[in-house]
A and B are shown apart, each in its own frame.
Chain A
Amino acid sequence: MGLNSGETKHSEFPTIIPALGTKFDVGISSFTITTEREQQVNMVSYLNVGSAWGVATGNPKNFNPSDPCGTTIAVQTGTAQEDYAATLSDECVAAGKGKITVMPHELQTDIATKLIGGQYDATLADSTVIGYTSTQSGGKIEQIGETFESAPQGVAIAKDDAQLTEAVQKAMQYLMDNGYLTDILATYGAENAALTTAELNPSVN
């Protein structure tokens, strides 16, 4: 975009959108695109992120993502996946199967270590987290099964900043069209999350 520098400030998640157009030009913080957010700000899509299962490479515990009942899985505390795992476990019990033992951890690194060490059957996390964990583990962890419950994420720009919105959208589309977005994400094992169209305020449920 021809600027000589960029500055990224870390702010509490809920404070970012209200500060767009004043304190910040853009917000980039895993913003899932929702109709509510699109009413507040412009959203330019660039990622599609869902949930995914990760196992030790080769799946030595024979974890079946289609039937996780009776297994021990690790999740990060406070994640959507922690709630989802609890729901899955309830469904297992209701179906007369074994419950899922859910082991919450603060750090995904701790989960990775224990997963590789054989303490857990699997981990459940965002698809990008699984990809990055796999990369960081040197291939000792891999995703198993398909990504599910995917949703687009976007860059947020102030609603009244049409010019910057267009610049961001075109810049993002350029990165997509020329393979840069995929290359960048591949550095972090997240290349599968790349979208191919930088859509402004896409229609979402």
Chain B
Amino acid sequence: MHKKTIFMMLTVASAATALTACADPTTTTSSGSTTAATASSATSYDVSSIPTVDEIAALVPDDVKKRDRRRSATTLISIRHSHR
């Protein structure tokens, strides 16, 4: 459980930082169940405080804009960083 917690913190941070302006990040397991990322006991950063930058938003491809949702992938293998 804690592996998940630990990893989640970097995942959430990374996901939040990478594309920001996604004020309500959720996580979905590969089996399809969805949980709030904030279900982790890890402290989280409120990405909603980061303003949208119009000129960057304009760069987002149309298919992503139409979807209005950015899909990112990560893994819960943990923070052990065997991911190298």
Contacts and interface: CB of A to CB of B under 8 A. Distances in A.
Contacts of A4: 22-24, 68-69
B10 A25 contact: no
Contacts of B9: 132, 187-188
Contacts of B54: 2
Which of A13, A28, A174 gathers most chain B CB within 10 Å? A28
A8 B37 contact: yes
Interface string B1-33: 011001001111111111111111111111000
Contacts of B78: 76
Contact of A26 (B11, B21, B72): B72
Given A188-B42, A188-B43, A109 B17 contact: no
B18 A30 contact: no
Interface in B45-84: 45, 47, 50, 52-57, 59-61, 64-65, 68-84
B69 A6 contact: yes
B52 to A, nearest CB: 5
A204 interface: no
A44 to B, nearest CB: 8
A10 B26 CA distance: 11
Interface string A66-94: 00000000001111100000000000000
Looking at chain A's contact residues, the main secondary structure is mixed
Nearest to B59: A167
B17 A180 contact: yes
Given A6-B22, A188-B42, A29 B27 contact: no
A146 interface: no
Interface in A102-141: 106-109, 125-126, 128-129, 132, 135
Contacts of B60: 1-3, 163-164, 167
Interface of A: 1-13, 16, 19-20, 23-32, 46-47, 49, 76-80, 106-109, 125-126, 128-129, 132, 135, 151, 155, 161, 163-164, 166-168, 170-172, 174-175, 180-181, 183-185, 187-188, 190
Interface of B: 2-3, 6, 9-30, 37, 42-45, 47, 50, 52-57, 59-61, 64-65, 68-84
6 contacts: A1-B53, A6-B22, A6-B25, A26-B70, A46-B14, A163-B61
